[in-house]
Amino acid sequence: MDKREISNEQTASDQAVAEQAATEQAEIEPSDLQEANNATPLSKLMKYSKLMGPAWVAIALNIGGATIAAAVVVGSSTGFKFLWALVPEVFTIWIACILCTKLTLATGEGTIGAVRKFLGEGAALFTGICVFMVNAIFHAVNFLLAGMALETLFGVDQRLGSLVGLVFILLIVFNPAKGDRYIKIIETTLRISIWLLFLTFLLVLFMIDIPWGELFKGLFVPTLPNSSEEMATFAGLLGAAIAVNVPVMAAYGIKERKWGKRRSGLSIFEITFTHIMLLLVQLVVVIATASTLFQEGTVVTDGIVAAQALEPFAGGFAVYLFGIGLLASVFTTLVSQVLLSGYLITDTMKWKVDTKSTKFKLSQLAVVILGVTAPLFGWNAFQGVIYASAVNLTFMPVGIILWWLIGNKTNVMNELKLSKPMNISVALGLILVLIATIRFWINL
């Protein structure tokens, strides 16, 4: 190695140190965070809950129409048999989110920027295209679901319902606030919406008779599929919430808020809290449909039909509750998908990633227009779901491997380098997502 190469390596090393120092310098640790970090365990949890933010935007992608639909299919077709599988499913996406956000906490880079910086331009471009495809196709699907849900609730035309979804997005995502206030408006809206959908689904359980013995057996006694139909349902359940755009959104949310390694504990807490919410929402939906539709041999394929089918068992009010919960899940997902699109496009194109920039806003608007055209012009965006699912479940293990490689680089992660327990957890998550991916392609 000649002197020039040594000098170049030293310059690169010095630059990395300087960037890390700048990130730490920019990260202001407010007194409430200091107080939370120094509190007793129970008090720390209470204080952390008030400081949550970015994870609400990420989990809004996951508590959406696709996840609700998968829970409905499982509950109505197999009852409580695969209730236990919700735990490994949520564990997989939870560990992927922690892994992805650790990279941003350590480097200050968004996901695509981190992959570009440490693994090369080709890997960054591949990442950006794959995540964008998944995000954009499911965005169009959620516009359709918004129209269908409003039709079920109020009898309006689906196209008009989709326009209501469009207005909601324009009000929330394109709000005129700047900087932190802009993001906090989105985070607060999504947090309220997620609590609303959870509570409405939960209320449905008080209107039906639940076979508790079957419920506890399904939750604590793992049972594997014994037919091709059950395997397809099982694989669909595993793959529904294992969405590659969720950890990527979690990372960009942290970057937007300028969180660094000092907030590592808070980051893990809020990711854990919101994924418990994801688990509970799925549990409630499976229990509701397994206790009613499965008992009568009624199999449904989506949340809209499930809401209507519940009326004989729980009454008309339950239909509205279930519909409101579904509508809230779709609207929250639409908002997060638009926000993520801005990050994906600008970072992939190597533009400045800034929510206030014209290019960022135009990137978001382009995806909104693309999504809303499906219901307005009568296009069946559901036909694209199989392709989006294929990209999602094929790229997810690739993404985990890429993030895993970076997460074990000492010169990149420093004290946030993945620990042995974290590496074991990532390995388990990778195995689970590979199972879902393989089963998807076999059933396809």
Task: Name the amino acid, one letter, at 367.
Answer: V
> CA-to-CA distance for 80 and 83, rounded, in angstroms?
5
Question: In percent, how much of the chain has pLDDT > 90?
Answer: 51
Question: In percent, how much of the chain has pLDDT > 70?
Answer: 91
pLDDT of residue 175: 87
Overall pTM surpassing 0.85 (yes/no): yes
> CA-to-CA distance for 344 and 355, rounded, in angstroms?
12
> CA-to-CA distance for 128 and 347, rounded, in angstroms?
8
How far is CA 377 from each of CA 5, 161, 209, 334, 374, rounded to the nearest angstrom?
58, 13, 42, 19, 6
Q: Which domains does the chain have, with CATH numbers?
A: 55-443 (1.20.1740.10)
pLDDT at 444 over 70: no
pLDDT of residue 296: 83
Instruction: Tell me the pLDDT tens digit for each residue of 295-312.
Output: 888 888 767 677 777 767
Q: Which residue has the tokens 């008779």?
A: 209
> CA-to-CA distance for 196 and 200, rounded, in angstroms?
6
At 293, list the tokens: 């539709």
Instruction: Tell me the pLDDT tens digit for each residue of 256-295.
Output: 999 988 899 999 999 999 999 999 999 999 999 999 889 8
pLDDT of residue 313: 66
pLDDT at 74 over 70: yes
pLDDT at 32 over 60: yes
pLDDT at 26 over 60: no
State the chain's mean pLDDT as an integer. Answer: 86
- Asked if 182 and 300 touch (Cβ cutoff 8 Å), the reply is no
Residue 314 pLDDT level (bands cut at 50, 70, 90): low
pLDDT at 9 over 50: no
pLDDT of residue 55: 95
Residue-by-residue DSSP string for 224-282: ---SHHHHHHHHHHHHHS--THHHHHHHHHHHHTT--GGGHHHHHHHHHHHHHHHHHHH
> CA-to-CA distance for 44 and 36, rounded, in angstroms?
5
pLDDT of residue 158: 84
Instruction: Tell me the pLDDT tens digit for each residue of 137-155.
Output: 999 988 988 888 888 777 8
**Torsional class of 155: left (φ above 0), alpha (ψ -120 to 50), beta (otherwise):** left
pLDDT at 14 over 60: no
What does DSSP assign to residue 365?
A: H
